[in-house]
Amino acid sequence: MTIDDLYFLFQEEELKGAVVLVYANKQDLPGALDDAAVTEALELHKIKNRQWAIFKTSAIKGEGLFEGLDWLSNTLKSGGS
């Protein structure tokens, strides 16, 4: 999926107001991108009409996965966008 595809999806009526959870995986590896680099690479700073968050994760170690799901659950419970 490209950035253009992502932003095209954001225009879909069914996804208006959807929140965005980004998992920055492989944080256990050297050279992993920090939040600012992920934000820049995905151009998340352009998202103005919905909530979004980045969670650093390591799927191998199981780190950050539940924190992201907790954020998603709490955000949706509080009304989302």
16 in a labelled binding site: no
End-to-end CA distance of the chain: 23
In the structure, what pLDDT confidence band is assigned to residue 17 with cuts at 50, 70 and 90? confident
CB atoms closer than 10 angstroms to residue 73: 10
The answer on whether 51 is annotated among ligand-binding residues is no
Using pLDDT thresholds of 50, 70 and 90, give the confidence band for residue 3.
confident
Cα 9 to chain center, whole Å? 14
49 annotated to bind ligand: no
Q: Give residue-wise pLDDT tens across range 19-58.
A: 999 999 998 899 999 999 999 998 898 888 889 999 999 9
| In the chain, where the domains are located | 3-77
DSSP secondary structure code for residue 69 in this structure: H
Structure tokens belonging to residue 59? 């799927």
DSSP 58: B
Is residue 80 over pLDDT 80? Answer: no
81 confidence band (pLDDT: 50, 70, 90): low
Structure tokens at 79: 């009304």
Classify domain 3-77 by CATH number. Answer: 3.40.50.300
